[in-house]
Amino acid sequence: FEREDAKTARQRLLVVANRLPVSAVRKSEDSWSLEISGGGLVTALLGVKEFEARWIGWAGVNVPDEIGQKALTKALAEQRCIPVFLDEEIVHQYYNGYCNNILWPLFHYLGLPQEDRLATTRSFQSQFAAYKKANQMFADVVNEHYEDGDVVWCHDYHLMYLPKCLKKHNRSMKVGWFLHTPFPSSEIHRTLPSRSELLHSVLAADLVGFHTYDYARHFVSACTRILGLEGTPEGVEDQGRLTRVAAFPIGIDSERFIRALELPQVQEHMKDLKERFAGRKVMLGVDRLDMIKGIPQKILAFEKFLEENPAWRDKVVLLQIAVPTRTDVPEYQKLTSQVHEIVGRINGRFGTLTAVPIHHLDRSLNFHALCALYAVTDVALVTSLRDGMNLVSYEFVACQDAKKGVLILSEFAGAAQSLGAGAILVNPWNITEVAAAIDQALNMSPDEREKRHKHNFSHVTTHTAQQWAETFVSELNDTVVEAEIRTRD
């Protein structure tokens, strides 16, 4: 995280995100092992190398005892990480409840929870109270570690209340906030009971960033329509104070993937995979097992393709690698059984004694295995129903310079705006359209594949995670921090 010659290197960066880049597993009373955490936020931030950064967040476990907390704090310090300890009840109400059962589906256009509509007001209120409490706990840790001149960069929907907590404590702190999900249309946001309080709180930041121009525009519209504030080309103005709002499309550390392909262990994996699937085209899906990823829709589209193209049945295989996520939230549990049921049915229908059309793995792959899989794939299927950006599509492109495979990409992923010209764009809800896209991808001429890949590869290798972070931090440095800031309850 260091670079001597950069303006940013002289200044410390405090990255605050719910999820630390490492998750802790307890080995004994006072010893812990740390594993890399999953998800796009961690992937992108780990690709940011050249800052003097500390990361503040939750290590993904409940640590009720002092001995455990001390030992974990020490282990994390070696990774430049600082833990926020959240107890089980807070995690249940804040993380499982308000973040992942309310904000996450709402921001991805899946609406507020339906089944307990009548109980929503009560459970909603207690979950929102826990959300604010948790955000204050993150703020307390930031305040404890903050030094004059630090830049504080808050991340994602878990921490929308954080800018306000930080500014309340220290008006001259430089605070940025970046959202890794879509920000929905203001008509969706306005259904959220705490809509105004969250918007006001985010506006306490000096710079607010989104993946795409559309998300930034939706945010500004929400502020103008719901709060009655003035939107300007620069951001949102509230009684003379401007909060800068802009788009900062994220990227990956593409070099890391390109270099990995040269490693002997990755080459070995590739050789094994090629032998295993010789004579068949490989289609690939890599996702967290999340309802926004459109995994059932993707599998049903593949079934339709097999139905309509009998000649392809023994010549193509779909590998769907779906790592379980947020498993304490009932919606996610339902999704797991739904996916298993569909895969079982299709394999029963089209499988033979020697081969099945879908290999579905409920787990995460290590980095080298993942790179090898990306590199041998003929067609990647990213069919998110909504997705902030989708870095899997970027990783696939980075690993395809030799093969020049085809990317089928949902038009509802942020990545459609950057990789749209090289990918085949689809509406993931339209299974017939996705089945036709599979047909088109499998039959695409080498010349066209090359042309499309070139466009995407050039984007992925030039719009990197490092460049994203430098642009955001440099713009945050350029904002003027008001000595006076109004905060609301």
- By the criterion CB under 6 A, which residues form the site for ligand ADP? 38-40, 43, 286-288, 321, 323, 364-365, 370, 389-392, 395
180 binds ligand G6P (CB under 6 A): yes
Q: Of these partners, ligand G6P, ligand ADP, none, which one is at the site of residue 323 (CB under 5 to 8 Å by kind)?
A: ligand ADP
Query: 124-163 mask for ligand G6P (x: CB under 6 A)?
Result: --------------------------------x-------
Closer CB to ligand ADP, 99 or 321, in the complex: 321
Quick one: which of 322, 302, 328 has its CA closest to 313? Answer: 302
Closer CB to ligand G6P, 103 or 316, in the complex: 103
**Candidates 34-42, 208-216, 438-446, 466-474; binding stretch for ligand G6P (CB under 6 A):** 34-42
Tokens of 193: 């009971």
CA–CA separation, 217 and 292 (whole Å): 22
Closer CB to ligand G6P, 187 or 328, in the complex: 328
Closer CB to ligand G6P, 60 or 357, in the complex: 60
Phi, psi of 345 (to 5 degrees): -65, -45
Q: How far is the CB of 62 from ligand ADP (least distance, A)?
A: 23
Residue nearest to ligand ADP (CB): 40
Contacts of 420 (CB under 8 A, 6+ apart): 409, 411
Closer CB to ligand G6P, 156 or 470, in the complex: 156
326 binds ligand G6P (CB under 6 A): yes
Q: Of these partners, ligand G6P, ligand ADP, none, which one is at the site of residue 286 (CB under 5 to 8 Å by kind)?
A: ligand ADP
Q: Give the CA distances from residue 434 to residues 356, 411, 439, in Å, rounded to whole numbers and listed in that order.
A: 21, 11, 9
CA–CA separation, 244 and 231 (whole Å): 10
41 binds ligand G6P (CB under 6 A): yes
Alpha helices, DSSP H, located in 146-263 = 162-169, 186-189, 195-203, 213-227, 254-260
Burial-class residue 119 by CB neighbours within 10 Å (0-12, 13-18, 19+).
Answer: exposed
CA–CA separation, 282 and 284 (whole Å): 6
Tokens of 219: 């945010």
Q: Of these partners, ligand G6P, ligand ADP, none, which one is at the site of residue 395 (CB under 5 to 8 Å by kind)?
A: ligand ADP
Residue nearest to ligand G6P (CB): 39
- CA angle, residues 40, 46, 52, in degrees to nearest 5: 140
Phi, psi of 479 (to 5 degrees): -75, 155
Closer CB to ligand ADP, 76 or 399, in the complex: 399
CA–CA separation, 201 and 308 (whole Å): 52
Q: Of these partners, ligand G6P, ligand ADP, none, which one is at the site of residue 469 (CB under 5 to 8 Å by kind)?
A: none
Tokens of 49: 């190398």
Q: How far is the CB of 9 from ligand ADP (least distance, A)?
A: 26
